[in-house]
């Protein structure tokens, strides 16, 4: 069968890569064309557009880059028409993917949506497009099934693929195979991971604050998990002279050794929790985008960990609360033995159970193939 898959972010590339591997396992003759990154390409897809060309955040940046966005829409429609897939598989990235869902539906192409956009948080009107243009919805958060049911949309809860990604990492881990800067046998200090995000806009806002806070913790060593789409020089320009190594492509190796973490809100908060690393969740957006979001968002928390648990398991420092002083105060608490650290780790165990266990990618691929072969 012929599959066209669109992922517009690093997390989508990760989950898309795992899904593609499972599709190839079940359908050895699969032809897969995709928008994504290196992980999807290494899994066997022909990647025609890289997600780094799609990373536009916030209202102001979207407006500024509107011509490029419109060119991407046009290219994608033509590429789908030329490839004529049996199914279009969309991974999150709603601003783009819901438009492609409408286009493919009108072209008579089956549409599967894997990893729901966060329309339960804001822009709930988008559920109408899901109901109208998406043939099957595959959700990865336990509360999403109940959300869609309220709007008359039937969905499959397949479990969270991050469980698979972390499990695969542990299964392939070779002792001594990590970067020397991570293992640092000559430095016994506990490691604190800095995960400032993957986009330049995020990194420029988060990393200077994280680096400034790190200066007050000489008894810990800090390592930055670098995004593959960024350059080392860019990170160096934001560190204010702080001597913190940046290591690319080793986020899981860093988290597997971390004692604590400062994490930009997003999928990385859930990855950090699955690795059982106490964390502080950070977020600061542009003032216009934040004011718009504040009036529209319908959830109590910003981090996936707290949303899934429906409780403040991890501290969230958002917008004006994200300061060097607040980072230092919270890091001192979660890095030290005590009730807050112990309670967070216990909550992580309950979170893992809620996420559905291993096998999400395989379950998703099996359901998709069963549906496609039935037609």
CATH 3.40.50.2000, the chain: domain bounds:
2-159+359-374, 166-354
Three-state SS for 194? strand
Query: Among 270, 266, 191, which residue's Cα sits nearest to residue 223?
Result: 191
Query: Among 163, 138, 156, 171, which residue's Cα sits nearest to residue 358?
Result: 163
CA dihedral sign of residues 176, 182, 186, 188: negative
Query: Among 9, 37, 60, which residue's Cα sits nearest to residue 267?
Result: 9
Task: Kindly indicate whether the domain formed by 166-354 is annotated with CATH number 3.40.50.2000.
Answer: yes
The residue-averaged pLDDT of 162-185 equals 71
Please list the residues that pair with 357 across neighbouring strands.
none
The residue-averaged pLDDT of 33-60 equals 83
Burial class (CB in 10 A: 0-12, 13-18, 19+), 370: exposed
Q: In the structure, what pLDDT confidence band is assigned to residue 222 with cuts at 50, 70 and 90? A: very high
Q: Give the pLDDT score at 60.
A: 46
Res 57 pLDDT > 70: no
Q: Which of 64-73, 89-98, 112-121, 335-344 has the lowest mean pLDDT?
A: 64-73
Share of the chain above pLDDT 90, in %: 69
Res 298 pLDDT > 90: no
Using an 8 Å Cβ cutoff, are 198 and 9 in contact? Answer: yes
- Return the CATH architecture of domain 2-159+359-374: 3-Layer(aba) Sandwich (3.40)
User: pLDDT tens, 119-165?
Assistant: 877 678 889 999 999 999 999 998 899 889 889 888 999 999 999 88
Q: In the structure, what pLDDT confidence band is assigned to residue 215 with cuts at 50, 70 and 90? A: very high
Query: Whole-angstrom Cα distance, residue 75 to residue 105?
Result: 17
Instruction: Calculate the average pLDDT of the chain.
Output: 89
Q: Give the pLDDT score at 296.
A: 46
User: pLDDT tens, 240-271?
Assistant: 889 999 999 899 999 999 999 999 998 899 99
pTM of the full structure: 0.79
Q: Give the pLDDT score at 84.
A: 96
Please list the residues that pair with 260 across neighbouring strands.
192
Give 19's Cβ-side CA count (13 Å radius). 32
């Amino acid at each position: 069968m012929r599959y066209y898959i669109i992922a517009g972010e690093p997390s989508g590339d990760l989950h898309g890569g795992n899904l593609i591997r499972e599709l190839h396992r079940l359908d050895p003759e699969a032809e897969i064309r995709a928008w994504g990154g290196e992980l999807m390409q290494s899994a066997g897809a022909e990647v025609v557009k890289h997600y780094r060309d799609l990373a536009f955040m916030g209202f102001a940046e979207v407006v500024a880059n509107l011509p490029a966005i419109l060119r991407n829409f046009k290219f994608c429609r033509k590429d789908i028409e030329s490839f004529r897939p049996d199914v279009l598989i969309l991974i999150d990235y709603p601003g783009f993917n819901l438009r492609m869902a409408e286009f493919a539906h009108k072209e008579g192409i089956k549409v599967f949506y894997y990893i729901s956009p966060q329309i339960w948080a804001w822009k709930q009107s988008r559920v109408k497009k899901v109901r109208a243009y998406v043939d099957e919805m595959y959700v990865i958060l336990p509360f999403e099934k109940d959300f869609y049911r309220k709007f008359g949309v039937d969905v499959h809860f397949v479990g969270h693929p991050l469980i698979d990604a972390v499990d695969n990492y542990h299964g392939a881990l070779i002792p001594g195979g990590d970067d020397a800067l991570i293992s640092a046998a000559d430095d016994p200090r506990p490691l604190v991971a800095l995960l400032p995000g993957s986009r330049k806009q995020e990194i420029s806002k988060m990393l200077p604050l994280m680096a400034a806070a790190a200066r007050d913790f000489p008894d810990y060593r800090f390592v930055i998990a670098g995004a593959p789409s960024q350059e080392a020089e860019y990170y160096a320009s934001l560190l204010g002279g702080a001597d913190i190594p940046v290591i690319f492509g080793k986020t899981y190796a860093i988290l597997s050794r971390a004692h604590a973490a400062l994490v930009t809100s997003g999928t990385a908060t859930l990855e950090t929790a699955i690795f059982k690393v106490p964390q502080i969740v950070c977020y600061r957006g542009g003032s216009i985008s934040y004011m718009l979001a504040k009036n529209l968002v319908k959830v109590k928390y910003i981090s996936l960990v707290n949303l899934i648990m429906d409780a403040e398991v991890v501290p969230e420092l958002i917008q004006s609360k994200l300061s060097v002083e607040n980072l230092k105060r919270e890091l001192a608490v979660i890095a030290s033995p005590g009730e807050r650290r112990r309670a967070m780790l216990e909550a992580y165990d309950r979170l893992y159970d809620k996420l559905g266990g291993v096998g999400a990618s395989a379950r998703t691929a099996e359901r998709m193939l069963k549906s496609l072969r039935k037609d």
